Amino acid sequence: MQHLLKDDPDVAALIKKEESRIENTLDLIAAENHSPRSIMEALGSIFNTKTIEGYPGKRFHAGCVYADEIEELAISRGKELFDAEHINVQPHSGTSANLAVYFSVLNVGDRILSMSLPHGGHLSHGHRASITSRCFDFIHYSVDRETELIDYEEVRTLAEQYRPKMIVAGASSYPRLIDYEKMAVIAKDVSAYLFADMAHIAGLVAAKVIPSPVPHCDFVTFTTYKTMMGGRGGVILCKQDYGKKIDSAVFPGCQGTSAVNVIAAKAVIFKLARAQHFVDIQKQTLSNAVLLATELAHKGYRLVSGGTENHQVLVDLAAKGFDGSAAEQTLESVGIIANRNVVPRDAEHPGAVSGIRLGTAAISARGMSGQEMPRIAHLIDSALVNSGNKEVLKQISLDAEALARKFPVYA
C-alpha cells in the first residue's frame, strides 16, 4: 500500500486496522467470506479505468478490446461452471441482478410470489422497505409453523389463488435446501416464471455439493462474495430464450457502465471454483455447519428447522432468554462476528429479533475444520451465558483471538 500510505495515511491506517480485525476475529457472518488474494488483485487492477456500456463487440466507447476479452472469458467460464444457457456478469450486486430479472419479463404492477422476510426471504423479494414492493404486487409464502421448512402446499395454494407471473425460490436466511423441482412443477402449473435467488449458496452449488437450481429455473441470480468467495458483485443465469431480455434489462435497463475490474474478479473465481481446493472448502463449509449446529443443540440451543443443510445455522435464542441484538453485541465484544436475525416466530411479533444467524463459509475458507467447531460453540455459549461478566468475557475474547490467529486468512 505504499502509494496509499503516501496519498492518504488515514485511509491506509483504517485498511490496516480492518485487516487486523479480520485476522483476529472469527467471522460467522453467513453473507461474508475471505476472497483469495488473486481476487483482490483483479479488483484492484487497471481494468478499474475502463468505462464500458453495452456488451462485448457492441460497446458505446472505444478501447474495449481487452474489456471485451475479459467479459467473454467470465461469460464462458461462468456458463460452463453452472451449466447455464446464458449468463450476464454485469450486475453490481444481488439486488441489481434481482431488479433486472423482474424487469426483464414483467410489467410494473405484475404479481410475484416470494418468501416473506421473517421466514427467510430477502429485502429485494418484495419487502415493504424495498423499491421492489413499489414496482410489483408481491404475495409471500412462509415456512411451516412446526417444521420451519418451506410449506410447498402453501406455495401451491397461493400460486393457484393469486396466479403470480413469477415465483421466487430463494432466501437469505434459510438453513435448508430448497426443492426447486417441486417449485418448478408449481410454477409450470400456474404458468409463472421460476426465479431462484441463490446468493447465499452459489459456492456450494458451483462445487456441486448441494443441488443446483439452474436446470429447473428460468432465471437464477447470485452474488459472488458469499460462499462463492469472488469479491463483491452479482450475476444472472437464465435460459437462452430470455438472454436478450436479461441483457437489455441489466444495460441499459437497470445499470449504466459496469465495473470491468469486478468482471475480471468474476472470471478468476469461475476458474478457481473448478479446482479441488475450492471444492474442499465448500465441503468443509457444509460439514462445519452441521457440527456447529450439533454442538449448539447439545448445549440446549433451539435451531430453526432443527438443523442445517447449507452453510447457515439459525439459532432461536428466545427459549434461552437472550435477544438477538444483545447477543450480536456480546459476541462482537469477544471477537465473534455474527448478525442478529429474525426467526419465523418473530413474524407474529413485529419488531422482535429473536435469533442469531451463523455462517461457516469464512471460517472454513481460513482452514478451520471439525476440530474447531466444538471450541467455537463453547465460546459462543460461554459469551452469551456470561454476557454481564467482564472478566469472563475478556478471557473468552483472548481465546477467540488465539483461535483466529492459528488460522491466518492471508498468511
Residue (70 or 178) nearer to ligand DSN, CB:
178
β-strands 336-337, 312-316 pairing: unpaired
- Rounded to a whole number of angstroms, the minimum distance from the CB of residue 172 to ligand DSN is 4
Please check whether residue 378 is in contact with residue 392, taking contact to mean a CB–CB distance below 8 angstroms: no
Reference 59, options 71, 47, 75, 48; nearest CA is 71
- Rounded to a whole number of angstroms, the minimum distance from the CB of residue 361 to ligand DSN is 12
The grid coordinates listed for 333 are 465484544
- Rounded to a whole number of angstroms, the minimum distance from the CB of residue 199 to ligand DSN is 6
Residue (52 or 101) nearer to ligand DSN, CB:
101
Please check whether residue 303 is in contact with residue 296, taking contact to mean a CB–CB distance below 8 angstroms: yes
The grid coordinates listed for 187 are 410454477
Residue (31 or 112) nearer to ligand DSN, CB:
31
Q: How far apart are CA 396 and CA 332, in angstroms?
A: 11
Taken in order 246, 251, 255, 260, the sign of the CA dihedral is positive
Residue (55 or 225) nearer to ligand DSN, CB:
225
- Rounded to a whole number of angstroms, the minimum distance from the CB of residue 123 to ligand DSN is 7
Which residues bind to ligand DSN, rule: CB under 6 A?
31, 122, 172
DSSP label of 131? T
The residue whose Cβ lies closest to ligand DSN is 31
Count of CB atoms situated within 10 Å of the CB of 352: 16
Instruction: Give the HSE-up count for residue 345: Cα atoms under 13 Å, Cβ half-sphere.
Output: 16
- Rounded to a whole number of angstroms, the minimum distance from the CB of residue 125 to ligand DSN is 10
Residue (67 or 343) nearer to ligand DSN, CB:
343
- Rounded to a whole number of angstroms, the minimum distance from the CB of residue 208 to ligand DSN is 23
The grid coordinates listed for 184 are 418448478
Helix (H) or strand (E) run with residue 15 in it: helix 9-24
- Rounded to a whole number of angstroms, the minimum distance from the CB of residue 337 to ligand DSN is 12
Residue (67 or 229) nearer to ligand DSN, CB:
229
Residue (31 or 327) nearer to ligand DSN, CB:
31
Taken in order 83, 88, 90, 96, the sign of the CA dihedral is negative
Please check whether residue 238 is in contact with residue 220, taking contact to mean a CB–CB distance below 8 angstroms: yes
